[in-house]
A = this chain, B = another copy of it.
Amino acid sequence: MSNTPIRVAINGYGNLGRGAEKAILASDDLEMVTIFTRREPDSLDTVSGKVASVSDMADYVGQVDVCINCGGSATDLDQQGPETVKLFNTVDSFDNHSHIPDYYATMNKHASAAGHLAVISSGWDPGLFSINRVLSEAILPHGSTYTFWGRGVSQGHSDAIRRIPGVQDAKQYTVPVQSVVDRILAGEQPELETRDKHLRECFVVAEEGADQAAIEEAIVTMPGYFADYDTTVHFISAEELQRDHSAMPHGGRVIRSGETSEGTNQVYSFNLALDANPEFTGAMLVATARACSRMAAAGETGARSVLDIPPALYSPKDGDELRAHFL
């Protein structure tokens, strides 16, 4: 909207941080300030060539409009979020759904105290999926909402397989049951058990001499992870795993099926098919950083989520252009 670029920093340089970096570099209205890392800065090969030690973060106050925290929710963000928002406006992808209210309260307190704005839990789920769950239920109060994930790699399930004795490496795909998706898209509102919605497909590299039958049994009966699903296990070589399963595809759907009057079905659906989950999530975080910077510039402080952000603020285009060409 203005010609002054929005100055964005990244905190943490794993797959997500790298995805965010690419998205910043692809956006003319954003300036890539630096990437903060806990590692030795010289050891990082960033796309932009920019990198700084996380211990020097305070030196960047006044040079950064928004900092995108790219740590994981499991451990990093609980600490990274409150610390960073003391210095900057922040955006993150906190995705531990059951802890979101606590994390929101914590970030709201620290952001408000610092006079900064913290947008939490952006990305696609939470994020775009959340927007669609809220909008669709607001429009169709009488109905059912379904979320499907995949086909995509689940890091948590892959890790769980790797912890089984005799397993050298593994990748697990979450796969929606297409016949059920099709029924819902056709207007049905079925009651579904966990098993009805998703399959789990595992590609496992066994150690030499390991008991494959025992590994398979350990996987398919694992409570919490696999026992409630129809699970298939394929044993493959390390080379095959590397060659065929190194990408990070993901995606999924939110479907709301509702009635506006007796017998009148309306089906609302949102779908993502992603070649690379971290690059797409990074791109959504960057669009969110644009919105965050504008809301902060307008005087907003405290914590927000994507549910609090008007769509226009994500776009580099101004209101006149959006109304003329996108509305």
A residues in contact (CB < 8 Å) with B? 19, 22-23, 26-27, 97, 100-101, 104, 121, 126, 128, 130-131, 133-135, 137-142, 185, 187, 251, 260-261, 263-276, 279-280, 282-284, 287, 290, 305-312, 314-316, 319-320, 322-324, 326-327
Q: Are A141's CB and B26's CB within 8 A?
A: yes
Complex Cα spacing A23 to B273, Å: 33
Contact B279 A272 (CB under 8 A): no
Provided the pairs A138-B287, A272-B268, A322-B134 are in contact, do residues A279 and B307 lie with their beta carbons within 8 angstroms? no
Q: Are A307 and B283 in contact (CB under 8 A)?
A: no
Q: Which among A121, A131, A142, A282 has the highest number of chain B CB atoms within 10 Å?
A: A131
| Other-chain residue from B126, B266, B271 in contact with A279 (beta carbon distance below 8 A) | B266
Contact of A100 among B19, B130, B265, B323 (CB under 8 A): B323
- A312 engages B308 (CB within 8 Å): yes
Other A-B pairs, 19, CB within 8 Å; known A141-B316, A260-B280: A19-B260, A97-B327, A101-B324, A130-B311, A139-B280, A139-B283, A140-B283, A185-B271, A260-B276, A260-B279, A260-B282, A263-B275, A266-B280, A269-B272, A305-B327, A307-B312, A308-B310, A308-B311, A309-B311
Q: With A135-B128, A140-B283 given, is the CB distance from A101 to B275 under 8 Å? A: no
Contact (Cβ within 8 A) A138 B314: yes
A271 touching B271, Cβ below 8 Å = yes
A322 contact set on B, CB distance < 8 A: 134, 307
Residue pair B273, A187 in contact (C-beta under 8 Å): yes
Q: In the complex, what distance in Å separates the CA atom of A284 from the CA atom of B256?
A: 14
The 8 closest A-B pairs by CB, nearest first: A138-B314, A260-B279, A307-B312, A267-B273, A138-B287, A138-B315, A130-B327, A126-B327
A311–B307 contact, CB under 8 A?
Answer: yes
Is B22 within 8 A of A134, CB to CB?
no
Query: How far does the Cβ of A30 sit from chain B's closest Cβ, in whole Å?
Result: 10
Contact B134 A315 (CB under 8 A): yes
Bound-state CA distance A128–B131 (Å) is 11
Contacts known (A139-B287, A308-B310); A275 close to B270, Cβ less than 8 A: no
A56 CB to closest chain B CB, in angstroms?
29
Find the B residue at minimum CB distance from A127.
Answer: B327
Check B283–A260 contact: CB distance below 8 A. yes
Known: A267-B273, A272-B267, A319-B307. A100 touches B139 (CB 8 A): no
Contact across chains for B284 and A139 when beta carbons are under 8 A apart: yes
| Chain B residues closer than 8 Å to A133, beta-carbon distance | 326
